[in-house]
Every structure is written in structure tokens, then in C-alpha cells.
Structure 1
Amino acid sequence: MKFLYEGTVTNQALRKTESMYMKRLFLEDLPIIEQVQKEVIESLPEKAALQPLSTEEFLFILNERGLLIGAFVEDQLIGFRALLIPEIDDEHLGLDLGLPEEELPNVIYQEISVVLPEYRGNRLQQKLAEVIMKELPNLEQQFRYVCCTVAPMNIPSLKDKFLQQMHIGALKEKYNGMDRYILVKDLEHPTIRYENHITVKLDDLEKQRQLLDHGYVGIGFQLVKGFHEIEFVKPVL
């Protein structure tokens, strides 16, 4: 089998360097996918920070409605990342971002990304992102926009998205009333020109909403007096 990536990772529990490879996941991998998701959620101090996928959602992706890439040490799945081709409905993230209806079929979601606790600190989420985005053009359908949701205060996940040049385009209530950033990357125009830098405290969601409503987007973090603040800018059209 041809692997999509080969390298090494450090098992933090054993303090040992191990060989690692990445490959596409299929229907027969569903039991180990769900087991890894369960272990990761159980390890989180704040369970609401991660929105897990249901069995039905995993089946939807694995049945040609997206892409799942897994990282393995020997035969053990240690992390995975998912892309989902969404149904077009009232909850579509493209609508949250103000995209015109004719653009909605051009949107794909970056879904859940998890790594087992003992393998964190290897930048595996970032490497999985690089690999899965390289595989995106191999899907039958072509996409222009990559979207996802992230919980406010989830700094590691936000850093991951900012490193991919995604930006915060909206802050909405999703998943039965939970606040979520809606992030997006336009693959046709991956970099944006901007002006008017403003930084806002992570927990000042009201100020962030005001800026987003006035056409600002969030592009990264700045350290202000030793604390992370989100950097908002106004795109130059």
C-alpha cells in the first residue's frame, strides 16, 4: 500500500521515537476511528471544546461524501482528520458566512481532527491538515471554500486553522445554542489584503461579533501583556 506520508513521532508517555505513516481510511476502519474519538474526548478537561461526529456522520463521510486520513504507529490509529461534503440545508456554514446560494455546492467542511494524548506535541494535527488538503483535489468534485467551526477559547484548534490561512468570518450559535467561530479559506484566493488591525480579548465575544458584523475577519493571535488576543482586520476588496 502506498502511504500518503511517512515520518516519526514521539510517544510522550514512553518518551520514545516511533515510525509513523498516514493513509486514507475506509468503511472497515470505522470501529478504530470511533474508539480513538472516544479516547480523545474522555481525555479532554472541557468536553464541549470538541464536537464529536456520530456514527451516521462517519458513515456519511466514508461513503464517498468526504475524506478521512489517519496517522498510524504500526497498526494502531493514533489520530485522524476528516473532510465532509455537507448537505445543503439551513445550517450550512456558507450561509453563516454570507455566501450566495449558488456557491454552497462549492463548500467542503474541515471536520473533526483528533490525536491521542500520548502523541500530542508532535504537530500531528498540522501534518494531517497538510496531507488531507493535498488529497482534496483528488476527490471527484472540486471545491472552492473550506469551512469549519471552532469553539471560542479553543486556542490549539484556532492556531491550527490560522496556520492553514483560514480566517474567522462569523461567530454564530451552532449545535443547539453553543457559540462557534465559523472559519473559511477561499482556495482560489488563499491570501487576503487587509487594513485596520484591532486586537480583542478572547472572552470578549460581544466586541468580536460587532467587528464581524462590520466586515472585519479574525486572522490570528497577538500576545498583549502576556495574554492571547485575536487579531481582527478589515479585508481590502
Structure 2
Amino acid sequence: MIEQGEIMNHRDLRFHSFVIRILDINDIPQVMALQDFVLGLLKNRSFCVPLSPEEHYQIMSGNGETLGLFIGEKLYAVCSILFPGHRVDNMARQLDFSEEELFRVAQLELSIVHPDLRGNNLQKKMAEKLASRAQKNYRYLFTTVSPYNYPSIKTVTSMGLNIAKLCNMYYQWDRYIVYKDIIKPLELEKSNVIHVPNTSFKEQQQLFDQGYVGFSQFKDEEGIKIIFAKKLRG
């Protein structure tokens, strides 16, 4: 068991006892059921990339870890981290990391929360627990996020991850590659930042080419804005 306590269920407005624990292959049917349920509610399916039962099996069989939050026997939230090594889907390949560095990468994968428990900051809380456990053996933390998914962008930047690249991944969906060097975080020139709409891909690409990364975000009447700063090193 990783944690236990009480959490607000926004359907019945009551607090319920919960347990967070590491999942194993016997939990895959519940994970798939929750994944299918949550994805079925999304207006934009590109916000969440589903994992197959085989991918969950790989993670739970020593190539990563998956945390699950339970109320009673029911699974309400899942967050997974993968240790991809030399696999072709190692996200660090997108940033031209060396073969040696690929083995120091941990990447956050699936993160889903039942709508009854949304508003409890579970996506960030569970991702931080996995990242904390992984940093004992891994230097780089990676994940991807949709440029249109404001809550997820906010979560990853609040964890200190920087937006380093914009590309097409998975089903040719638009995706930010975000990462953090746990040992030596990027130093940024934050006295001269640039705000760019999340949909202005050409301008963002120009900034990436000039050594900028996205490190924060905000919303105004025009929509989502990504805040960029130039790297001082790294």
C-alpha cells in the first residue's frame, strides 16, 4: 500500500476512505473497464491515449509501475509509468537523446480518473508519487500531452516538466513532448518570456528551433496561451 485516507466523491458530496496501491496483472480487467468508461466520456478522444491489455501487462511485469486508487473494491483512478529503455517508443528519441541516455528515461503513460473523483488533483498527485519512486534509478521524466488539453498541460508544467517539442504521435494526433532532467533541471531566461496561443504551431516551432521551451500556461478570453522562455543551458 502506498497511501490511504479520505477523499471527496463529487457525486454524493461525501468523503470516502480510499487506498492507493501498486497494481499487478490481476487488476488489468478493472483497469481496462475504467479506461473504456473514461474514454467514452471524452469529447476529444485525443486527450487520452489508451493502452492495450498487453501494454498494461508489460508495465506491470517489471517494465514500469502502475498505481491504482480504490474505494472499497472499486478502482477509481489509474496512473502508469514506463521504463522504455531502447524501445522505439522511448519519447527521448524525439529529442535525439543518446542510446545511453535512453536507459535513464522514465515516461508517464496512462492517467485516468473516474469523473466522480475529479477535482481532487489526483492526476498530479499520483504522477508525482510515481515520479518520486522512479527518480531513484532514472534521470529523465517524459510524457506527452495534447496542446488542447489545458488541465493536463497545467499538471505537467506544475511538476516542472518543460514543453520541448510539438509533433504528431499515436494516431497522428498533435502532441507536446514534455520532459524534466531530475538531476539538472533546465535553467530558463524568465525575464523575457513569450506568450503564444496553443494553436499557433508555426510560431511555436520557430521558438523550439531558437532554443525556447514552454514552461507554463494561462487562459484568457482568446483561449489557451503557452508561456515560453529561452534555455540558458542544456
Superposition TM-score tier, normalisation by shorter sequence: over 0.9
The one of 117, 123, 126 equivalent to 1:125 is 123
TM-score, scaled relative to structure 2: 0.93
Q: In 2, are the aligned partners of 1:165 and 1:191 still within 8 Å (CA)?
A: no
Distance 1:126 1:94 in 2: 21
Aligned residue for 1:188, secondary structure, equals coil
Q: Does 2:106 align with 1:144?
A: no
Amino acid at match of 1:214: Q
Query: What is aligned with 1:174?
Result: 169
Q: By how many angstroms is 1:111 displaced?
A: 0.5
Distance 1:149 1:91 in 2: 12
Root mean square deviation of aligned Cα: 1.7
Deviations 1:37-87 (A, max 9, x none): 111101111112111011111011011000001111111110010001115
Q: In 1, are the aligned partners of 2:164 and 2:179 still within 8 Å (CA)?
A: yes
Distance 2:90 2:133 in 1: 23
Query: What is aligned with 2:179?
Result: 184
1:13-162 equivalence runs, <5 A: 13-137=11-135, 142-162=137-157
Identical columns (%): 31
Q: In 1, are the aligned partners of 2:131 and 2:141 still within 8 Å (CA)?
A: no
1:203-222 equivalence runs, <5 A: 203-222=199-218
Q: In 2, are the aligned partners of 1:145 and 1:185 still within 8 Å (CA)?
A: yes
Gaps of 5+ in 1: none
Amino acid at match of 1:10: M
Q: By how many angstroms is 1:213 displaced?
A: 1.6
Distance 1:225 1:176 in 2: 30
Deviations 1:112-138 (A, max 9, x none): 100001110111112112222232256
TM-score, scaled relative to structure 1: 0.92
Displaced runs of 4+ in structure 1, greater than 6 A? none
Deviations 1:10-30 (A, max 9, x none): 111111111122111111111
Q: By how many angstroms is 1:89 displaced?
A: 4.3
Aligned residue for 1:63, secondary structure, equals helix
Gaps of 5+ in 2: none
Aligned residue for 1:209, secondary structure, equals helix
Which 10-residue stretch deviates more, 98-107 or 27-36? 98-107
Distance 1:226 1:176 in 2: 28
The one of 188, 198, 204 equivalent to 1:202 is 198
